[in-house]
Amino acid sequence: MDACLGSELAGVVRKSRVFVVGTGGIGCELAKNLVLTGFQDIVMIDLDTIEVSNLNRQFLFRKYHVGRPKVQVAREALLQFNPQARITAIHDSVFNPDYNVNFFKRFSLVMNALDNKAARNHVNRLCLAAGVTLIESGSAGYLGQVSVIRKGESECYECQPKPTAKTYPACSIRNTPSEPIHCIIWAKHLFNQLFGEPDADEDVSPDTEATDEHDSGGHKSGGQKSGDLGEHGPGGQQSGDQNSGDLGEHDSGGQGEGVPMSDGLSDGVNGGPVQSKLSTRQWAENNKYNVEKIFTKLYQTDVEYLLTMKQLWEKRTPPTPLSLQQLTSSSDNDGDGAGGSDGCLPDQRVWSVHKCSDVFQLRFSPLLFPHLSVWPN
């Protein structure tokens, strides 16, 4: 560590006592980084217990930890990185009067990894009163932020009102995505519809009643509403996976159940799509999660239906349906990359449409049957 930081700074790091508030998504990463950087004296506080929904991002926890206090399991995991570290785990709320100004004065630095405004305000005020530097951090959806709060030198957490976060109309997500973030949200919703806990307001099938008026309406999906920026912490008020003060928490509001949507099948008479009120999950189950049928529905049949809504494309570039059969039989296979990405590192290559369709099919069964080593066709 001395070689990386210099002997003087490394000495300061070793002697510092750090208070970490929250051991959720950000807290896990934060605490791990502190230990690996060389901090020897760390106190962590969190009121929450581990839930299954935490496991996809809170990497210090495993399935067999579900139900146990986050902070205790985090301590056990961190000691595997550095058994000599002095790590104290407090399973309690930071609002407890025991954690007062005198308690905060014991620390060289306080680091927040919270998920609600009330807890942030509370810690912010205690740090100002104690004269201790606070590092505030948070995540909201696909964005993040960090700021240093030091009495007399920077504005505090409450000095500036948090702006209302941008939201995304549901119809833009389903029917007329025009930005990369729209596609990312659509893919996230699709994953939940197929493999996670489906939300009727997040169904990715086209909204058959959509018009340009809907596009500018108040239906929101996949965006963010005002809240608090951060991850689960001990503040006692959980506000979901994506929270924010500056950026907002995930908002899945939009058009609910009962919206007609194409089921991706032919009616056998006119060749047109059959209209039904099936959700994407119900449709997939009815078709036994056949990957070819699901691909065809999502990227061909649904897109072809959208193209019949002429008013949507008067001022937009219309989408192009993808035929799985043509992609599979195409001799124009440009491999892993396209657009001059040859020679790049693997994670910097731009995938071709052909490559994307291959990966979609290749990874479908492992996601559907994660417990199997050999997957059914």
Active site residues: 171
> Which string of DSSP letters, residue by residue, matches 141-169?
TTEEEEEEE-TTTS--TTSSPPPPPP--B
Roughly what angle, to the nearest 10 degrees, separates helices 353-368 and 180-195? 30
Distance CA 356, CA 373 (A): 23
Strand partners, 17: 41
Comparing CA positions, the residue from 247, 258, 187, 196 lying closest to residue 223 is 247
> Which string of DSSP letters, residue by residue, matches 245-276?
SSS-EEE--S--TT--EEEEEE-SSS-PEEEE
Parallel/antiparallel/unpaired status of strands 273-276 and 261-266: antiparallel
Strand partners, 126: none
The answer to whether residues 109 and 16 touch, using CB atoms and an 8 Å cutoff, is yes
Give the 3-state secondary structure of residue 42: strand
Distance CA 121, CA 222 (A): 27
Contacts of 58 (CB under 8 A, 6+ apart): 23, 24, 25, 27, 28, 50, 70
- Phi–psi pair at 146, nearest 5 degrees: -150, 145
Question: CA Rg, the chain, in Å?
Answer: 25
Element (H, E) at 4: helix 2-5
Q: Is 219 left (phi over 0), alpha (psi -120 to 50) or beta?
A: beta
